[in-house]
Structure 1
Amino acid sequence: MNTITAIEPRNKRNKSYELALDDGRTFCVDEEVVVKHGLKPGMLINEEQLREWIWEADIRAACDLALHYLGFRMRTRKQLYDYLKRKGFNEPVIEEVICKMEEYRFLDDEEYALRWIQSRKLSQPSGRRKIAYELMNKGIARDVLETALDTVTQEEEEELVCQLAEKYYAKYSNLPGKECMAKVSQALLRRGFDWDIISRAIRRLDVDLS
């Protein structure tokens, strides 16, 4: 058993307190833990109680940071994990907070992937390969990624490539036929479209390559 020797305010902004024990150790807990458990100098505590209070304080602090982080825009599970890791929380706390955020639908990788694909359609048209690369870098699981990509039909992608091919053709039409088509093809490849779709779009342009 240990005795609490002092409880001093540590940070007025987030209402945290420093709890000092008679063996010289100090711990940070938040105001809610202090009030909930009636902590005060002279109180006897055991190690199990101490671990419970620290856990509660860490979960609450991590949840507050997570809600603030998620409030700006949608994030992936991995992005939130990395953010809380940088803030110094241990893995059990991070996983618990991530589960809470998913439970309350503040965090949803499936929805994130679908919205990312939709935003690419509207603002920066890209092929499945590039979209997959982007989402994998953001930590989206392969099964979630594949399900989201299935919402993009081949017909949609072919039509999109044809529209972009016409746009790039207009841009490079002052070049000789072969050079022009090379430029168009390279631009479409950089956007992550597959070569077979690109080649069909190129043929539809009916450009003289002589």
Structure 2
Amino acid sequence: MPTISKITVQKKAKQRYNIYVLDRQIERYSFSVDEDILINYNLRKGMELDEAAMKEIAEADEAKKTFHLAVHYLSFRMRSEKEMKEYLVKKEREESHISQAIQRLNSEGLIDDLAFSHAFVRSKVNQGFIGPTKLKQQLYEKGVAEKHIESALSEYDVEWEINRLQRWKDKQDRKSGIVKDSKQQQLKKWQTQLMTKGFSYEAISQLMRTFTDEKNNEEEREALAYQGEKLFRTYKKRYTEPFELKQKMIQALYRKGFSFDDCKAYVDEQMRGMSE
């Protein structure tokens, strides 16, 4: 029966040990183990190891490697249980070892989906512009249970959304230059953008009502002039007959969200200027 003849510390991994055995008077390297495995199995020089014992020790060491991989993965940031399982599967660890590792991580509080969901939401909200709907979707994708998601998002209600959207709108107002879009077109763009960011329809609708009340006629005329000049430069080359040019201009501006009366008045004025 093979007997442990020598135990040495690995040079690049001080927590791992190389086990050498004497088998039929020939010393050879047999396997390596983690320090915890060395202690748990009381491995020592002169100890006899049969095939079953070595297989058991190797199994325990592989389980230990899986746990170490999990802890290393946690060193970068918190993880959900699903994220951890997917990572260990990707690393081709044994299913039984993955289950053992996750069970231990849970028992030691190293994995906690409730704490993870709260930390995830706080981080996302602090780092970027994102709404509860998208946060909920992202947590679902990470395998977090519904009750934990609801807990994490409990303070981010419609009132919070409205305040967040108002700050966002104030920022847009400060950096806006020439008004390029009609009120209607701007509303559509913002609605699409904010829905994509994960804000609720209720909160967006309230912001849109505020925007509708605030945008004045002068800004609408400014946007109409900007879009009209662009269209005239293109359409004058395409439509040489005045009536057709007028109709195409009105239709195009109307599709951009301006009122029919404003479109007609603007185009009539431009057409008079062309004929003079």
TM-score range, shorter chain: 0.7 to 0.9
Q: Judging changes above 3 Å, is the alpha-carbon distance between structure 1 residues 136 and 6 closer, same or farther for their aligned structure 2 residues?
A: farther
Identity, in percent, stands at 25
Deviation string 1:69-98 (CA, Å, 9 cap, x unpaired) is 212222222222222223332122112112
Write the letter of the residue equivalent to 1:77: E
Please say if 1:190 is aligned against 2:191: no
3-state DSSP class of the match of 2:18? strand
Write the letter of the residue equivalent to 1:95: S
Q: Judging changes above 3 Å, is the alpha-carbon distance between structure 1 residues 118 and 84 closer, same or farther for their aligned structure 2 residues?
A: same
Match of residue 169 from structure 2? 165
Q: Judging changes above 3 Å, is the alpha-carbon distance between structure 1 residues 50 and 143 closer, same or farther for their aligned structure 2 residues?
A: farther
List gaps (5 residues or longer) in structure 2: 24-29, 217-257, 260-276
Q: Which runs of 4+ in 1 moved over 4 A?
A: 2-11, 18-22, 39-42, 169-173
Q: Judging changes above 3 Å, is the alpha-carbon distance between structure 1 residues 147 and 87 closer, same or farther for their aligned structure 2 residues?
A: same
3-state DSSP class of the match of 2:156? coil
Q: Judging changes above 3 Å, is the alpha-carbon distance between structure 1 residues 145 and 16 closer, same or farther for their aligned structure 2 residues?
A: farther
Match of residue 38 from structure 1? 43
Cα distance in 1, alignment partners of residues 67 and 209 from structure 2? 55
Residues 19 and 27 of structure 1 are in contact (CA less than 8 Å); yes or no, is this contact kept in structure 2? yes
How much has 1:114 moved relative to structure 2?
0.8
Q: Judging changes above 3 Å, is the alpha-carbon distance between structure 1 residues 84 and 135 closer, same or farther for their aligned structure 2 residues?
A: same
3-state DSSP class of the match of 1:54? helix
Match of residue 272 from structure 2? none
Residues 33 and 61 of structure 2 are in contact (CA less than 8 Å); yes or no, is this contact kept in structure 1? yes
Q: Which has the higher contact order (CA 8 A, sep 6+)?
A: 1
Residues 130 and 191 of structure 1 are in contact (CA less than 8 Å); yes or no, is this contact kept in structure 2? yes
Cα distance in 2, alignment partners of residues 79 and 150 from structure 1? 23
Cα distance in 2, alignment partners of residues 84 and 10 from structure 1? 27
Write the letter of the residue equivalent to 2:118: L
Cα distance in 2, alignment partners of residues 108 and 42 from structure 1? 41
Residues 172 and 183 of structure 1 are in contact (CA less than 8 Å); yes or no, is this contact kept in structure 2? no
Q: Judging changes above 3 Å, is the alpha-carbon distance between structure 1 residues 151 and 20 closer, same or farther for their aligned structure 2 residues?
A: farther
How much has 1:178 moved relative to structure 2?
1.5
Please say if 1:95 is aligned against 2:96: no
Match of residue 17 from structure 1? 18
How much has 1:200 moved relative to structure 2?
1.3
How much has 1:61 moved relative to structure 2?
1.9
How much has 1:39 moved relative to structure 2?
5.3
